[in-house]
Amino acid sequence: MDTRKRVRLSFILALLPIAVAVFYLLPIQAGPTIIRDNRIDDTALTPVLGRGYTIVTNTFQSKCLDNVVMTEPSYDFQYKFESMETMSDVTHSASSETSVSGKYGFFSGSARTAFSYSGNTKLFFHRVLVTLNMDTYYASVDEAKSRISASAAKLLQANDIPGFFMGCGSYYIRSIGRNAKFVSLFTYQDQSESRDANFEADMQVAVSGFGSKDACPGSELQECASQGTSTGLSGSASQKVTYSFKSQVASKRLTIETHAYGLGKNEGATLISYDLETFKAAIKDAFISMQNPATGKVKNMEIVPWVENTEFQASINLEQKENPAGGAPLLMYEKKYNLNLNGEFLGEIDRADRNLLNIYYKAKICKEDIETNYMTQSVGGGQGQWLPGYDRKLVFNNKTGFSSTLTLVQLYNMVKEPTPLLDKQQQFMKESQPCIKEMMAAGMFRKSWKQIGPCSSLLPKMAALLNRTVDDHCMPMLVPPPPKMPSPPQGANTPPPTNNATQPPRPR
């Protein structure tokens, strides 16, 4: 074998261990992660570009990127005008379009009624759903122009890695996808159970402005209007509703119920509609309010580990001796891998500690709230008596917004002795100290928490620390009793009763 081949072979053999290490380490390196589930549905949280995030606890930290420069976003816009056969169609379409739920339903109780009475006349409700939908995406951090904040950079330069991860999280938000919606339900009354197709076509022309009515004469109006739906909001949106149509609107008692979500602030905008003219103006203002890329309900976000940020890597010192007792030096991949894992684990310990304290304080205040509002005050300072009927009241789940099967007395029994919750927090921190001390002694990037015995034994204990029942139901909000259904007036157009002989006997 000649000298050139021997040199080439020696070079390949020298690189082989590094290549093998990289091959095994790269798949487990934390990369960009997309979150598009219910972890970001809570509007009490505020995802912002450049803000820190801890994935193991789903908590947002400080914003540690300063003067964030955003890339140019893109938009998708949809406009729909749909006739709804039943209220279940409205509920299904609205809920699938908005993904928003409320404590008492998406639309009001009157909007859910199938019919009503005007004197002895039975009037049927018919509904039309109008939706505007705006999706914003590709709004991302331009990392070449955005910088780590001065205070966060000082932590890195001092090699205070735990302090950085505590304040900034182990990840940061690189991009956010948002959604804004404007949903309106038109309800009109008619003596016929069948829909008034001509009235709905007239209303579609009036709302959408698909050309003048002269261009769609007579019975061709509905077909012409339906053909115009593909053009979007045309330039004729300012046309006036005819006097005859206004008369129909009044006679059919047309009502408009509107819900808007994720809109930006527009000083000159008004979204209040009391007739079709003001509704068209509201649509225009809503469309303008949707176009701010920094507003809208968050639907998805991309998070990236800080260890993959080039400025982060340039600010920390990982070149010091990592094995004082000797041994093979760690590869840079291993250092960053251990650093990211340990940062997440310390963040999980810190959040678990805070959650335990928060639950203790929340239970303590919840106990005082129940005793003050739903119980009599005891003269001797002991437990008072329940006010009549309140102990059996159901309470809302404050997280989901729906009623639960938990009664007020069951919730009170969970919080009336909050001291064990504080004892649980103190015990947890006592068990955490050996793990933290050994990790700090070894070095944040030298050894993963998985290789530290006290840390591995601590992991299962963090899974069941949070008391979800107390967290979701305190402070208590009582479920109101169901509304009573109105009975039809005497002599109304109700079907005659069947023969008593064919009815089953009444129970005694």
**What would the two tokens of residue 335 be?**
């250092």
| Same domain as 261, residue 366 | no
CA 229 to chain centre: 31
For residue 442, the model assigns a pLDDT of 80
pTM: 0.62
Task: Tell me if 409 is assigned to some domain.
Answer: yes
For residue 208, is it within any domain?
Answer: yes
Claim to verify: residue 279 and residue 364 sit in the same structural domain:
no
Q: Are residues 259 and 369 in the same domain?
A: no
236 vs 38, more confident:
38
Answer yes or no: is 120 within a domain.
Answer: yes
Looking at residue 12, its pLDDT comes to 44
| Mean pLDDT for the chain overall | 75
Q: How confident is the model over 307-364, as pLDDT tens digits?
A: 889 899 888 876 655 555 556 677 777 888 888 888 888 888 888 888 888 889 999 9
Task: Examine the domain organization and report whether 204 and 120 are in the same domain.
Answer: yes
Higher pLDDT, 324 or 271: 271
Per-residue pLDDT, 216: 45
Indicate if the pLDDT at residue 457 is higher than 70: yes
Task: From 270, 289, 308, give the residue that closes a domain.
Answer: 289
Domain range spanning residue 120?
76-135+178-289
Residue 275 has a pLDDT of 74
228 shares a domain with 128: yes
CA distance 340 to 28: 11
Cβ neighbours, 10 Å, residue 174: 21
Higher pLDDT, 15 or 488: 488
- Note whether residue 33 is domain-resident: no
Give me the number of domains the chain comprises: 2
Do 274 and 362 fall into the same domain? no
- Out of 289, 312, 327, a domain closes at 289
- Return the closest-CA partner of residue 84 out of 183, 186, 193, 181: 186
Claim to verify: residue 97 and residue 226 sit in the same structural domain: yes
Residue 2 lies in a domain: no
Residues 269 and 361 in one domain: no
Choice between 366 and 10, residue whose per-residue pLDDT is larger: 366
Instruction: Compute the distance between CA of residue 296 and CA of residue 40 in angstroms, rounded to an integer.
Output: 13
Q: Domain for residue 430, yes or no?
A: yes
Q: Does residue 276 sit in the same domain as residue 363?
A: no
Q: Are 262 and 238 in contact (CB under 8 A)?
A: no
Comparison of pLDDT for 106 and 232, the residue scoring more: 106
pLDDT of residue 223: 43
Q: Residue 68 has what pLDDT?
A: 92
Residue 116: band (very low, low, confident or very high) from pLDDT cuts 50, 70, 90: low
Question: Which pLDDT tens digit goes with each residue over 165-196?
Answer: 888 988 999 999 999 998 888 888 887 878 78
Compute the residue count for the chain.
508
Tell me what pLDDT residue 273 has: 74
- Residue 241 placed within a domain: yes
Pairing of strands 171-190, 121-140: antiparallel
pLDDT at residue 51 greater than cutoff 90: yes
pLDDT band at 480 (very low <50, low <70, confident <90, very high): confident
Last residue of a domain, one of 255, 289, 323: 289
263 and 362 share one domain: no
**H or E element, residue 243:** helix 243-251
A 10 A CB-CB count for 408 gives 23
**Whether residue 372 sits in one domain with residue 227:** no
What percent of the chain is modeled with pLDDT above 70? 70
Which pLDDT belongs to residue 465? 55
The pLDDT of residue 234 is 43
Average pLDDT for residues 300-313, to the nearest whole number?
90
- Asked if residue 488 is part of any domain, the answer here is no
185 and 276 fall within a common domain: yes
pLDDT digit string (tens) for 136-160? 999 999 999 999 999 999 998 888 8
85: pLDDT strictly greater than 60: yes
- At 152 the pLDDT is 93
